[in-house]
């Protein structure tokens, strides 16, 4: 029970008492019904309540917004009243409640909801209605009187073909959309000119509808083929219509620049023909439907038969641990047709994509953390939409950028110390494996190195005074994804060294001994050969040796030696870095019984000789095979055979030798 009194200078008023009931009313017992107001008021009536010993109370407030309620009392002998309020607003919905006044707490009898309806609201409807000829797009705006509507409204639409209703629709306008431009689009099974098309439109609110407003497509008065510039999916069926003005008739409709042969032409009237095409092939570019009149006039419309996106195999990775790079396969290219170009969204954001071939790429800045995430690429074109998905932890998919500033920090004859740098600072914390590719022009060698933030490597077993092309690439050692990009190739020349030991042999003929050595190859000379030095002495008189220098253009020396003595001959090569290790050969005494070594016959084939021989227990360092012509100048050649082999095939470096 709540008591309220008012007080002035003369004292307090009599108390006004009201009983507040317990909040245990079952609200489902009192239903809310709809009521319509008029002229800024609501008319209410209700059945007599035997509990209304002190009459009735009616209160009201807006359904939405701040509920500043008002009320009025009605005597017990009346069950109807008209509610007026200066606070009523056009288009605003109100809740009205009727209570029975009893000796105790008031009893809720009825609830009503409704609008105060005035003449200005009745004018709310569409204005500035337009109907597009090609796309069948209807656009309109709200009449200014709609601004008083607070709860939104609905527009009913009806499509008529040949004055017969064929489709119904509606557009719901929220309070926030009132005052903006609205639109509705419909696709007819026939182009608009194959039959007369109209649209009817009206507004509806508060269970009340305004009269229909009708819009009809006009007759263009020219030869027209529709639809124009449309996209169709391969496998679908498209219908085109040709219309001509009064006084003309259609001779034929036909296709250009399309290989499909399944075409069906239909005469709808003298002025209207249709052409139905089953689009079983993709258009190379734009195809055309042509219409020719009996007077020889021609008009047409272009179309393209294509496919919705069919991209596949999305795969995402990172190079700098700050950007995601996603790649995918493009199975069909339609980029030559501007309107069919695909649009790509990665994680909902547009992709800036340049020219694409078979592989697409999209990159975006992201926060890379050690967690698996779903990555979504959305592909759309006018014929469809496709979503590709990949799930990846980007910290395990690092495709490293190429190392920068690759250079030699130290160069020696047979090894190089290499260094490089990274443009991505976060690589310094990664455990890396790096490949160094070393090429000498004829062969490639790959050397692998490991380390955290690796920026250096040593290349060993190189040839002195030799040119190498060196490049580097790296990948993560833990969670290896793929090798990174190769660095730019760097040319490095090793420092020179003394020549390698020479390959020396001898030939004894009569009283002369010819000492010969093979010309050092480039990878053996390690620089330009200046000359050769030949030393010889009896094996029992090593300290009394003879020596001579031989120019670099000569590769042999003829000696006259005592055939009864054994000699030791040593040959070295010299370049700017010094002399090679000595190559030594022993010249035996010539007391062999030649009859003990028999000469047998052999036949060569294909410019070569095949030789085999029995194992010799004396061949501690292998075998030597030499050869020269029997007649003429004996410029001999030779080859060395390892001790575990007793056969070989002889090829000569000079074609006339064999």
Residue 650 CA: distances (Å) to CA of 36, 278, 344, 441, 450: 118, 74, 67, 28, 46
Rounded-to-5 percentages of helix, strand, coil across the chain: 5, 50, 45
Q: What is the pLDDT, as a whole number, of residue 91?
A: 66
- Report whether pLDDT(357) > 70: no
Per-residue pLDDT, averaged over 506-512, amounts to 84
pLDDT digits (tens, 9 = 90+) for 620-651: 999 999 988 888 777 889 999 999 999 999 98
Q: What is the pLDDT, as a whole number, of residue 505?
A: 93
Q: What is the pLDDT, as a whole number, of residue 555?
A: 93
Per-residue pLDDT, averaged over 385-411, amounts to 95
Q: What is the pLDDT, as a whole number, of residue 397?
A: 94
Q: What is the pLDDT, as a whole number, of residue 224?
A: 86
Q: What is the pLDDT, as a whole number, of residue 401?
A: 96
DSSP string, 349-400: EE------SSEEEEEEE----SS-EEEEEEEEETTEEEEEEEEE-GGG-B-P
Could you tell me where the beta strands, DSSP code E, fall in 382-525? Answer: 384-392, 404-411, 416-421, 431-439, 444-452, 456-459, 467-476, 490-493, 504-509, 512-517
Instruction: Give 528's Cβ-side CA count (13 Å radius).
Output: 4
Q: Which fold has domain 312-396?
A: Immunoglobulin-like (2.60.40)
pLDDT digits (tens, 9 = 90+) for 406-457: 999 999 999 999 999 999 999 999 999 999 999 998 888 999 999 999 999 9
Q: How confident is the model at residue 118 (pLDDT cuts 50, 70, 90)?
A: very low
Measured between alpha carbons, how far apart are the two ends of the chain, in Å?
135
- Report whether pLDDT(187) > 80: no
Q: Give every CB contact of residue 615 below 8 A, 6+ residues apart in sequence.
A: 646
Q: What is the pLDDT, as a whole number, of residue 123?
A: 66
Select 224-306's CATH number: 2.40.160.20, 2.60.40.10, 3.40.50.300, 3.40.120.10: 2.60.40.10
Residue 549 CA: distances (Å) to CA of 191, 224, 533, 553: 103, 102, 4, 12
Per-residue pLDDT, averaged over 460-483, amounts to 94
Within the chain, all domains assigned CATH 2.60.40.10 are found at 2-115, 119-216, 224-306, 312-396, 404-493, 504-587
- Report whether pLDDT(162) > 90: no
Residue 226, both tokens: 């529709």
- Let me know if domain 2-115 sits in CATH 3.10.105.10: no
pLDDT digits (tens, 9 = 90+) for 144-153: 878 777 778 8
The more confident residue out of 592 and 177 is: 177
Q: Closest Cα to residue 579, out of 538, 549, 559?
A: 549
The more confident residue out of 205 and 416 is: 416
Residue 596, both tokens: 């003990």
**φ, ψ dihedrals at 631, nearest 5°:** -110, 150
The more confident residue out of 165 and 220 is: 165
pLDDT digits (tens, 9 = 90+) for 15-51: 877 777 765 544 456 788 878 777 678 888 989 998 8
Percentage of residues in the chain with pLDDT exceeding 90?
45
Q: What is the pLDDT, as a whole number, of residue 448?
A: 92
Q: How confident is the model at residue 592 (pLDDT cuts 50, 70, 90)?
A: low
- Distance between CA atoms of residues 286 and 428, nearest Å: 54
Q: What is the pLDDT, as a whole number, of residue 159?
A: 85
Q: What is the pLDDT, as a whole number, of residue 408?
A: 95
Q: What is the pLDDT, as a whole number, of residue 314?
A: 95
Question: Is residue 512 within 8 Å of residue 560, measured between CB atoms?
Answer: yes
Q: Which fold has domain 119-216?
A: Immunoglobulin-like (2.60.40)
Q: How confident is the model at residue 189 (pLDDT cuts 50, 70, 90)?
A: low
pLDDT averaged over every residue in the chain: 86
Q: What is the pLDDT, as a whole number, of residue 599?
A: 83
- Distance between CA atoms of residues 418 and 471, nearest Å: 10
Question: 504-587 architecture in CATH?
Answer: Sandwich (2.60)
- Report whether pLDDT(196) > 80: no
Question: Is residue 282 within 8 Å of residue 326, measured between CB atoms?
Answer: no
The more confident residue out of 31 and 256 is: 256
Q: What is the pLDDT, as a whole number, of residue 482?
A: 95
Q: What is the CATH number of domain 404-493?
A: 2.60.40.10
Q: What is the pLDDT, as a whole number, of residue 272?
A: 85
User: Does the pTM exceed 0.85?
Assistant: no
Q: What is the pLDDT, as a whole number, of residue 655?
A: 45
């Amino acid at each position: 029970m709540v008591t309220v009194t008012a007080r002035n200078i003369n004292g307090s008023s009599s108390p006004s008492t009201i009983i507040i009931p317990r909040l245990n009313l079952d609200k489902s017992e009192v239903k809310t019904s709809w009521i319509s107001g008029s002229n800024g008021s609501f008319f209410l009536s209700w059945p007599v309540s035997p509990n209304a010993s002190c009459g009735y109370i009616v209160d009201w407030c807006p359904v939405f917004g701040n509920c500043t309620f008002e009320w009025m009392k009605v005597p017990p002998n009346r069950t109807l009243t008209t509610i007026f309020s200066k606070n009523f607003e056009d288009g605003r919905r109100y809740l009205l409640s009727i209570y029975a006044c009893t000796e105790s707490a008031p009893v809720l009898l009825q609830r009503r909801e409704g609008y105060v309806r005035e003449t200005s609201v009745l004018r709310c409807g569409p204005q500035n209605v337009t109907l597009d000829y090609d796309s069948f797009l209807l656009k309109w705006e709200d009449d200014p009187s709609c601004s008083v509507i607070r709860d939104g409204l609905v527009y009913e639409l009806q499509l008529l073909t040949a004055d017969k209703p064929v489709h119904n629709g509606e557009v719901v306008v929220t309070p926030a959309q009132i005052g903006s431009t609205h639109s509705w689009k419909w696709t007819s099974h026939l182009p608009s000119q194959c039959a007369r098309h109209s649209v009817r439109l009206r507004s509806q609110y508060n269970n009340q509808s305004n009269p229909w407003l009708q819009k009809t497509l006009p007759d263009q008065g020219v030869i027209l083929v529709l639809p124009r510039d449309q996209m169709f999916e391969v496998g679908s069926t498209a219908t085109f219509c040709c219309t001509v003005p009064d006084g003309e008739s259609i001779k034929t409709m036909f296709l250009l620049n399309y290989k499909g042969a399944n075409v069906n032409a239909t005469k709808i009237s003298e002025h209207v023909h249709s052409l139905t095409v089953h689009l079983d092939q993709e258009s190379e570019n734009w195809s055309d439907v042509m219409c020719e009149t009996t007077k020889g006039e021609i008009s047409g419309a272009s179309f393209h038969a294509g496919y919705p996106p069919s991209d596949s195999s999305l795969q995402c990775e990172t190079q700098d641990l700050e950007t995601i790079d996603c790649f995918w396969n493009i199975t069909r290219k339609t980029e030559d047709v501007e309107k069919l170009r695909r649009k790509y969204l990665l994680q909902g954001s547009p992709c800036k994509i340049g020219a694409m071939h078979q592989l697409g790429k999209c990159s975006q800045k992201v926060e890379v953390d050690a967690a698996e995430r779903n990555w979504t690429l959305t592909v759309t074109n006018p014929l469809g939409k496709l979503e590709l998905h990949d799930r990846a932890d980007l910290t395990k998919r690092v495709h490293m950028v190429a190392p920068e500033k690759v250079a030699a920090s130290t160069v020696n004859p047979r090894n190089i110390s290499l260094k490089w740098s990274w443009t991505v600072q976060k690589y310094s914390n990664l455990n890396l494996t790096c490949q160094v590719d070393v090429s000498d022009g004829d062969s490639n060698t790959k050397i692998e190195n490991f380390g955290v933030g690796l920026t250096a490597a040593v290349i060993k077993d190189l040839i002195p005074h030799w040119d190498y092309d060196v490049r580097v690439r790296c990948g993560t050692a833990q969670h290896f994804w793929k090798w990174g990009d190769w660095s730019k190739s760097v040319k490095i020349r090793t420092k020179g060294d003394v020549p390698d030991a020479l390959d020396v042999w001898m030939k004894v003929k009569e009283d002369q001994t010819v000492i010969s050595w093979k010309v050092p190859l480039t990878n053996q000379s390690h620089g330009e050969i200046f000359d050769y030095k030949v030393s010889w002495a009896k094996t029992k008189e090593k300290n009394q040796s003879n020596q001579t220098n031989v120019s670099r253009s000569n590769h042999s020396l003829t000696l006259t030696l005592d055939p009864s003595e054994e000699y030791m001959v040593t040959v070295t090569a010299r370049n700017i870095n010094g002399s090679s290790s000595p190559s030594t050969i022993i010249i035996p005494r010539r007391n062999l019984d030649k009859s003990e070594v028999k000469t047998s016959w052999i036949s060569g084939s294909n410019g070569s000789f095949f030789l085999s021989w029995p194992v010799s227990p004396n061949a501690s360092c292998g075998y030597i095979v030499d050869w020269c012509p029997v007649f003429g100048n004996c410029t001999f050649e030779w080859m060395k055979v390892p001790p575990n082999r007793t056969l070989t095939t002889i090829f000569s470096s000079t074609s006339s030798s064999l």
